[in-house]
A and B are shown apart, each in its own frame.
Chain A
Amino acid sequence: MEYDLGPEAAALRGRLRALVREHVPADYLGAFTADPADLAIAQDFCRLLADEGLLCMAWPEEFGGRGASLWEQTVVREEMWARHEPRGAQYMGVNWVGPTIMRHGTPEQRAQHLPPIARGEVIWCQGFSEPGSGSDLASLRTAARPDPDGDDAGGRAWRIHGQKIWTSYASMAQWCFLLARTSSSGRRQQGLTIFLVPMDSPGIEVRPIACMMGPHHLNEVFLDGVRVTEADVLGEVDGGWAVVQEVLAFERVGIARYARVERLLQEAPAALGDAWDELPAELRGRWARMLTHARRARLLAYRVVSRQGTGQVSPVDSAAYRIAVTRLDQDGAEVLTEIAMAAEPDGEAGAHVDSVDPRRWRRAVEDHARYAVASTVASGSIEMQRILLSRALVAASGAPSSAQPGTAARAGAAS
């Protein structure tokens, strides 16, 4: 067995840490702030990563990447998420917009969209959820109706009317990865189409939603007769659902949530200084327990990664990971907040400080706690994960007879 990702991973980790240390302020808490300087930090950092060949290293060489391994991608995700995602919204372009366009885009779409994503220059938002369509995404009502004028080349065109909601980064984005209904015949999943839509198109209006997570997290996007043509369709007309499934699969393993929780937990004693020793023993016990849960979530993530490597990912692995990691976000937030509140609000750390600024740490904990509330809702609710997992568990054919790794659950998932 081997759990050490090896010297190459350590070298990559070290390189990313050095870049972050040099180019991202220590108190950076992500691009979701009212301060335009934070957005600029993310923009600059993406360009830097792109220049260093680190932004799209996972992409195939033909699209400007280096075909980096899944483990390299894991290291990048861990390091970026632990440091409040200094790639800003662009991580979405790298993680799922680009790869989806590679798989389903026309040569023209690839040429138009992939280079700016690879250079870290463009922000995308995801136009999926609607006021009446959350987990039940296929019920969405935003409609693309044929525009009788067609497009300039004699092809089809549509006018899109409807509303999207909970759209992160919509106020910053240049492009929207938009799902709309193009047909109402057949199964609900059959009449949906993906459109790649410029956010400055006439008829698009973005309204921010004030929320407990902070600015820019959530927006409404209103679409009033937004004109799109065949050139804007990703994949097949009426064939958007399959693309959405791929996007959601990319998204579900895309964020190494455990890395931020682990970092904040590991920094807690240094952030508290002498006050650490005054904590109730029970709270230090819960801290130790939460570190165990952070490791557990990390190892469940590694299980998914290792199965991706062999092309055998099952819903059992990915759903179990996502359930564990989103709960970790929230359970970790409770423990961290309690520890943070035990320290002097503006106190200096005591004798044990080693490069952890207590004020920065407390702000990061507070930010994490607000953000963690959304963990079990964002990118597919935890209930949907439980449904996926339970279906896979009970779908297994025949009772497994082995007590060795990969028992009941995996045997079932393979069938």
Chain B
Amino acid sequence: MTAAAVDAVTGLAAGGGVVLDLSDEAAEFGRTAQRALETAGGDELAQAAEREPARRAELVAPVLDELGAWDLDPRGSADELEAAAALCRAAGWWAAPYPVAQRLARPAGGDADALFVVAPAAPAAPVGGLDLRLAAVTLDGRRYAATARESDVPARRSAFVVGLDLAPLAGAAADADAAGGQADAALGLVLGCWTLLGLLDRAMTLTRTYILEREQFGQPLARFQGVQFQLTDAEVERAGVAELAGYALWSIESGQAEALDDALALRLAAVEAAETVFRITHQLHGAMGFCDETTLSWLSRYSQPLRRLPLGRSATQDALASRLGRRGLAGIFGPNAMAATK
């Protein structure tokens, strides 16, 4: 072995520098936000917003404003991006009825309050009842100003989703390069997935508690292997999304050229996981899970926009495959292998 190789290997033995978790500060910020949202109403927030969609902003935004959430610049530094991700996960935990991820991802420049990633064929976003200046971006990086259409569908059915009218940006913003638009799309997708991850965390926790408490045939449901195995299937999905969410966040903060690939890969896994997790958590809750008195019912309904917009599972998979072409995902092998000496 050459001296250089020995030195190289000795350096690696020191730890490799791999960090799979958010910074302590970001994690603490997330915990603080979760407690603040709990104090502000917790599970009641979604219920109050559903009754009066016009109150959505006042229910959530001031709480986060107090924490300094809107001062975060996720494009500005890794620390701020990680804090934003932790905040989104906390918002997901309570199914907070406010587009936290999209407000955090708002474009630089101050022309809009929130950024939504949209599918041009059917642009839509859960902005019913809100008075925000909206920006939109497509997966190929085209940017628009967006206006929410009027809708008379009650929030209980729409989960606040309304159609958007898109207007191409004029002037300097229109000339912005596609790469910048794609970076916006990646950020929007990834923060949205962190919110969805928070919903999955909560659905799993609620279900674990439920199967330990609920007894049938003289014992808790958790004792039945048929129940246990379903729970493990859901947990493997949730845990996988958590790891991919970390990776996609790192890809943005470290300026990887494949950040949008990584965001789409996360999104595909997250949408798929949500399908499994909500199917199983509903099944294990039985009829109780459909009732308004259980939180799962609210999580399940308000997970819908996150799972269906901008694209559902098949369309996300198509979008990922067309982006990847022949080169595949960055990894340890293949044409765009990461940091591997060929």
Contact = CB atoms under 8 A, between A and B. Distances in A.
B331 A9 contact: no
B265 interface: yes
Interface string B74-114: 00001000100010011011000000000000000000000
Given A1-B19, A14-B341, A306-B18, A68 B331 contact: no
* A11, A267, A383 pick with most chain B CB within 10 angstroms: A11
A394 B208 contact: yes
Interface stretch (A140-148, A161-169, A181-189, A292-300): A292-300
Interface in A53-81: 53-54, 57, 66-69, 71-72, 75, 78
A404 to B, nearest CB: 5
A408 interface: yes
A292 B21 contact: no
Contact of B335 (A4, A299, A354): A354
B280 to A, nearest CB: 12
A399 B332 contact: no
A59 to B, nearest CB: 13
A1 to B, nearest CB: 4
Interface string A165-201: 0000000000000000000000000000000000000
Contacts of B20: 1, 3, 299, 302-303, 306
B205 A408 contact: yes
A17 to B, nearest CB: 7
A7 B7 CA distance: 11
Interface residues of A, number: 87
Interface residues of B, number: 86
Interface string B233-262: 101100110111011011101100000000
A46 interface: no
B331 A57 contact: no
Contacts of B329: 288, 291-292, 294-295
Contact of A71 (B16, B22, B247, B321): B16
Given A11-B341, A71-B12, A354-B335, A266 B328 contact: yes
7 contacts: A9-B12, A9-B16, A10-B339, A266-B328, A288-B320, A302-B243, A403-B201
Interface of B: 1, 4-5, 8-23, 27, 30-31, 34, 78, 82, 86, 89-90, 92-93, 198, 201-202, 204-205, 208-209, 211-212, 222, 225, 228-229, 231-233, 235-236, 239-240, 242-244, 246-247, 249-251, 253-254, 265, 268-269, 272, 314, 317-318, 320-321, 324-329, 331-335, 337-342
List of 7 A-B pairs having minimum Cβ-Cβ separation, nearest first = A14-B341, A266-B334, A8-B12, A390-B228, A71-B16, A299-B243, A403-B93
Interface of A: 1-15, 17, 52-54, 57, 66-69, 71-72, 75, 78, 82, 259, 262-263, 265-267, 269-270, 276, 281, 284-289, 291-300, 302-303, 306, 309, 316-317, 319-320, 323-324, 352, 354, 383, 385-387, 389-391, 393-394, 396, 399-405, 407-409
